[in-house]
Amino acid sequence: MPTLTAHRTGASLLAGTGDAWTAALIAPDRDLVAWSLPGAAAYGTAPGPEPTEWLTVVGAPEPAADLLRAVLPDLPAPPYGLTVPRGTDLSGLPGMAVAEDTYEYWELMTATRAPQPHPLEDRVRTDDAGMPEITALLTAASPGYAVRPGDPTVQTWATLRTEDGELAAAGALQRRPGTGTAHLASIATAPALRGRGLAAAVTGRLTRDVLEGGEAVCTLSVHSGNASAVRLYRRLGYTTVQEFTSVQLEEDF
């Protein structure tokens, strides 16, 4: 196996990977514990210099698997879970195993060109104060939503209401801590109002605000099984740049 390289700063880690997810999460001046082999890198995603309970691995599947098996035995405690490139072999992890029914398949998508204005975009607001309504919408539409009102990483909530004032769709423009990368999250439509282009209007407005404001990229993540959402984002100019699998771990007794 090639020599394992340890990294203690974001700049060191970033110098060895062109990975878009890492660039969105890790600032050059961040202290961290990370490792790399040719073709893969591993690091914790929580702030601070110590490995987190969740370990992220990026790169190609085969070197990612080699890197995991090299790093896991030396961690001070087993991680709670892993995010790895899709296709990484997770069998035979030293001292631990993947918990049943915890596989999540998702992808990182990026846009670098602003989409055309959506016909419903003039009804999208970014100054809506209806935070309890947004929470209720997200709970009804997507109980596992990633970001909620009050999250300090959210710069803007975009909302779209019906002519009667009912909240119909919403989404968040999030700023990744440390890097400030624009990331869209918790895009949701009221279940009874789906199929009317409401999420497209919200997503398109937030994307245009980012890219027409002079930023180079806007990112979002989506569950790979959500085919309708993937199609929507592609129509708005997003491209899948990485595919991941996330799992929870348990001790292998």
- Residue 50, pLDDT above cutoff 60: no
pLDDT digits (tens, 9 = 90+) for 66-92: 999 999 888 877 888 999 999 999 998
User: Tell me, what's the pLDDT at 79?
Assistant: 86
Give percent of the chain with pLDDT exceeding 90.
Answer: 77
What's the fold here for domain 114-236?
Aminopeptidase (3.40.630)
Q: Is residue 16 within 8 Å of residue 36, measured between CB atoms? A: yes
Average pLDDT over residues 8-34: 90
For residues 18 and 27, what is the distance between their CA atoms, to the nearest angstrom?
Answer: 13
- Residue 145, pLDDT above cutoff 60: yes
CB count within 10 Å of CB 2 equals 12
- Domain residue ranges of the chain, discontinuous segments joined by +: 5-105+244-251, 114-236
Enter the pTM of the model.
0.91
User: Tell me, what's the pLDDT at 48?
Assistant: 53
For residues 175 and 178, what is the distance between their CA atoms, to the nearest angstrom?
Answer: 9
